[in-house]
Amino acid sequence: MSSTVQRLEDTGSALRTALDTRDWAAIGELDLQCRQAVDEAMVEAERDEGLLRARMQELLELYRELVCVCQAEQQRLAGELIQLNQSQQGAKVYQLFG
């Protein structure tokens, strides 16, 4: 296994762990590392096409999951912000008549 394919595997594994723990800072950093590893793998002269394809497919599936998790997190945060805004507006009304 080439070092770039190994790097893809290692970075993908670390990204999976960060996603499982919802470590958003680590996900941001690992995303950059994954992009760099993909770029390096694409220009590598000697590579195992089958193994590279398998690793890229794994990353694609991981990124699909990451997008779904991010969208769910965005919706959750939007709901919290709406509730917070409504609470603040309710407190202002209470202060006016209290």
What secondary structure does DSSP assign to 37-48, as a single string?
A: HHHHHHH-SS--
* 53-59 mean pLDDT: 93
* 72-96 mean pLDDT: 86
Helical ranges in the chain per DSSP H: 3-21, 24-43, 49-97
Cα distance between residue 51 and residue 4, in whole Å: 11
Global pTM value = 0.78
pLDDT digits (tens, 9 = 90+) for 7-42: 999 999 999 999 999 999 999 999 999 999 999 888
Q: What is the mean pLDDT of the chain?
A: 90
